């Protein structure tokens, strides 16, 4: 969109008694723009009024010729000139009543609220700073307040292989981040807000199933823990800020909204990343870029409501899909992190499990056929139901499970203690056998 600057056209000149408008020529001084103060407007208007009244008075006072060319005098012209002066002075009063001046406020009977910065701008520069609306200024102030409160709790984490973000969880110096940020490392360098030098940290524990990890600072003096809120209280459309270190740009902030809730998303396996299926994920339009992983998704109450983790990929281009990112819910973090801090393990994940180790089985054409059971946890849900190594799981709770990822996705949406039907292929048979399994807890 092209912006066109609109300049004021110079006023017309008074030509004897005939008021004729003339365009400003190339040498005509440019008209002044901007909002005048009431004092400057009054001075300019007074000079203009005097000139107009004088010229108009002269015009009206010119001799009026009678029959035969004799002068009839000027007495009848002066009353009209006086009227012109009165009209001009009335215009002067109107000119000094500049919008936003004190006289306007006093005479209009209404009041207006200006931006706190607009009055200083007007007095120093002679023109008021344009403000779109009071709501916009309030939102800007709200963003700044949230950033001021939370950003000091967001850190940068470096390993020999990766760079990511983390959020200070408590006064002990425990930091929550993604398991894929940690990778296989056990020691880290952490850059804290306001410190020139990085701080050494060590691993407390990881929970790959939910892509979460906790590390602890060696020196936790003066750390500022973030406040973790309830992601269950979020609503679609809520404003959120994503804070982290994308592409190594420290302490960056982006904004967006909560686009959807309760998503189940899967991240692929990769170098240093075991892959994970994340239930109850928050979808957001706030940009999430490499380096944002492990940072903070924050609501307008300055509460951390999620840990940014994934960005959607456009299958056609292979690049990140703009405006589609995912975060681990704060409710999941508040359940998992204390267990990793206490013991380094997770025994109460709230996630359903069969109690088997599996791999994807393919048919002769290389197409996924189901999930082969490699081993069964003794005394676990699968063992109690009679599932054996060598069985191929083809469905759970009526949903097909052609791959291990599909199985993980199905289980992520089921409950611990729920009894479900599991379809099996056994001993090379193509006939499906079914068993009833009461689901257990997914542990680390």
Q: Pick the closest to residue 349 from 440, 231, 441, 418 (CA basis).
A: 441
User: From the candidates 45, 153, 231, 293, which is the catalytic residue?
Assistant: 293
Residue 137 CA to residue 309 CA, distance in Å, equals 31
Q: SS3 of 132, please? A: coil
Q: SS3 of 166, please? A: strand
User: From the candidates 211, 280, 299, 391, which is the catalytic residue?
Assistant: 211
Is 200 annotated in the active site?
no
Q: Which alpha helices (H) appear in 61-163, and where do they start and end?
A: 77-96, 102-108, 118-125, 134-150
User: From the candidates 115, 174, 180, 285, which is the catalytic residue?
Assistant: 180
Where residue 355 falls (left for φ over 0; alpha for ψ -120 to 50; beta otherwise) is left
Q: Pick the closest to residue 277 from 335, 332, 342 (CA basis).
A: 332
Question: Tokens 């984490």 correspond to what residue?
Answer: 157
Q: Pick the closest to residue 215 from 246, 248, 173 (CA basis).
A: 173
Instruction: Give the pairing type, strands 419-425 and 252-267.
Output: unpaired
Looking from the CA of 41 toward its CB, the CA atoms found within 13 Å total: 20
Sequence-ordered strand ranges (E) for 185-295: 187-191, 199-207, 212-217, 239-244, 252-267, 276-284
Catalytic residue annotation: 180, 211, 293
């Amino acid at each position: 969109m092209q912006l066109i600057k609109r300049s004021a056209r110079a006023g017309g000149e008074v030509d004897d008694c005939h008021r004729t408008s003339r365009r400003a020529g190339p040498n005509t001084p440019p008209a002044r723009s901007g909002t005048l103060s009431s004092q400057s407007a009054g001075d300019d208007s007074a000079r203009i009024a005097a000139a107009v009244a004088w010229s108009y008075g002269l015009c009206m006072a010119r001799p009026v010729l009678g029959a035969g060319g004799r002068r009839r005098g000027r007495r009848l012209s002066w009353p009209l000139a006086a009227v012109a002066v009165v009209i001009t002075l009335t215009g002067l009063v109107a000119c000094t009543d500049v919008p936003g001046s004190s006289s306007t406020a006093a005479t209009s009977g209404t009041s207006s609220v200006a931006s706190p910065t607009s009055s200083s701008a007007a007095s120093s520069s002679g023109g008021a700073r344009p403000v779109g609306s009071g709501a916009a200024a309030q939102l800007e102030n709200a963003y700044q307040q949230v950033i001021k409160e939370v950003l000091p709790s967001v850190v940068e984490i470096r390993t020999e292989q990766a760079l990511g973000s983390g959020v200070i969880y408590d006064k002990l110096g425990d930091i929550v981040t993604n398991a894929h940020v940690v990778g296989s490392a056990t020691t880290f360098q952490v850059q804290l807000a306001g410190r020139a030098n990085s701080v050494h940290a060590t691993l407390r524990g990881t929970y790959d199933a939910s892509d979460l990890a906790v590390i602890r600072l060696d020196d936790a003096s003066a750390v500022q823990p973030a406040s973790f809120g309830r992601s269950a209280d979020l609503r679609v459309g809520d404003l959120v800020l994503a804070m982290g270190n994308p592409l190594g740009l420290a302490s960056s902030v982006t904004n967006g909204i909560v686009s959807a809730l309760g998503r189940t998303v899967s991240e692929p396996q990769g170098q240093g990343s075991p892959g994970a299926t994340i239930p109850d994920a928050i979808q957001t339009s706030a940009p999430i870029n490499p380096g944002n992983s492990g940072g903070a998704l924050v609501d307008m109450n300055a509460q951390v409501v999620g840990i940014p983790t994934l960005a959607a990929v456009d299958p056609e281009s292979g690049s990140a899909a703009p405006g589609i990112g995912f975060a681990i819910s704060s409710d999941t973090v508040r359940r998992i992190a204390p267990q990793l801090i206490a013991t380094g393990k997770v025994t109460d994940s709230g996630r359903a499990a069969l109690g088997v180790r599996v791999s994807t089985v393919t048919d002769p054409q290389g197409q996924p056929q189901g999930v082969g059971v490699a081993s069964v946890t003794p005394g676990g849900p699968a063992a109690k139901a009679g599932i054996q190594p060598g069985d191929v799981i083809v469905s759970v709770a009526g949903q097909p499970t052609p791959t291990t990822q599909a199985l993980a996705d199905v289980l992520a949406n089921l409950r611990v203690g729920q009894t479900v039907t599991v379809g099996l292929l056994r001993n090379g048979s193509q006939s499906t056998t079914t068993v009833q399994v009461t689901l257990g807890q997914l542990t680390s």
